[in-house]
Amino acid sequence: MSRPVIITCALTGDSDTPKKSPHVPVEPAQIAADAIAAARAGAAVVHIHVRDPATTRGARDVALYREVCERIADSGVDALVNLTAGMGGKLVFGATEPVPFDPETDLVGARERMLHVEALRPDICSLDCGSFNSGMGDEIYVSTSAMIREMAQRIRDIGVKPELEVFDLGQLRLAALLVKEGLVKAPGFFQFALGLRWGAPSDAATMLLMREMLPAGSVWVAFGAGAEQMPVAAQSILLGGHVRVGLEDNLYRRRGVLATNAQLVEDACRLVETLGARVATADEARDILGLAAAAPQAAAVA
């Protein structure tokens, strides 16, 4: 039988993309609707950020996350919910002097980054495994080793699967150590974020190196930014990984043509099948990731 490949759809992110595409969901109802459409198109996992409906900027409001999750659950679609735990790491220095920090800064500790995960207990949550230069002016993302360890332990204790996001080789080394030490339950689920400034590049040699650095039995997925989304997806499939697509990472279906989340999932499904694999169901994704089977759901009301 052909290998099942998990497709994750990253729906909206927190970048300033709503001004660039009308398809980027902002309000909880829009984000949930896109998650449902992506799941019906073939995504086994939906990765969720929320946004402040008034400003369209990324938010950490537990109530917004709760509404999105409840709407998805009420729809009856079977998809694993992956909530970001990466918000609250933005540090923006002043334009002329490093301090005081720019008002765009949103920097909080490990516990506050986890409030919505603690409250909602999703199937998966992301765990950014290091600090990095974002490539956007004076902004850096801050995630210290102490923060990472504290979050990993709490994620383990509440029974959520961490998606270990790594943007470079040093972060991968730390993430692998979390698995070795038992702070992350095996099999580790690693995500290679490639082609971003200034992290690991998106070439096949880098992906191979990162794959070889993984603990035995690990599950991994790679994604590329912008025009690199589908080429990275293809490389990942061929090298034994899984796939992430979505408007968080890329706004276009092809040059000059804006995409929807469901369309990007449809394209990923065709890519998986063209390369001789098959699209994993949500239940297959749970099995691959070592998660419990979903509880039976009542049929959704039309």
pLDDT in tens, 122-147: 999 999 999 998 777 888 999 999 99
Looking at residue 197, what is its pLDDT? 82
Looking at residue 299, what is its pLDDT? 42
175-231 per-position pLDDT tens digit: 999 999 999 999 999 999 999 888 999 999 999 999 999 999 999 999 999 999 999
What is this structure's pTM? Answer: 0.93
For the chain, the structural domain boundaries read 4-289
In the predicted model, residues of the chain with pLDDT beneath 50 are 298-302
β strands within the chain, DSSP E? 4-5, 7-10, 45-48, 50-51, 58-59, 80-83, 89-92, 106-107, 124-128, 132-133, 139-141, 161-166, 189-194, 219-224, 242-245, 252-254, 257-258, 278-279
Looking at residue 293, what is its pLDDT? 77
- How many Cβ atoms are within 10 Å of 162's Cβ, its own excluded? 28
Angle at 135 between CA 237 and CA 207, to 5 degrees: 20
Looking at residue 295, what is its pLDDT? 62
Looking at residue 297, what is its pLDDT? 54
Whether omega for the bond prior to residue 198 falls within 30 degrees of 0, making it cis, is: yes
- Classified by CATH at the fold level, domain 4-289 comes out as TIM Barrel (3.20.20)
Could you tell me which of 44, 59, 181 has the C-alpha nearest to residue 123?
A: 44
| Direct distance between the N- and C-terminal alpha carbons of the chain, in angstroms, rounded to an integer | 36
Looking at residue 296, what is its pLDDT? 58
Q: Contact at 8 Å (CB) between 197 and 191?
A: no
Tokens describing residue 294:
């979903």
Tokens describing residue 69:
């999750």
Looking at residue 102, what is its pLDDT? 86
Could you tell me which of 172, 280, 167 has the C-alpha nearest to residue 223?
A: 167
Looking at residue 1, what is its pLDDT? 63
Looking at residue 134, what is its pLDDT? 77
Looking at residue 182, what is its pLDDT? 96
Looking at residue 268, what is its pLDDT? 98
Which neighbouring-strand residues pair with 141? 90, 132
Q: Which amino acid is at 85?
A: A
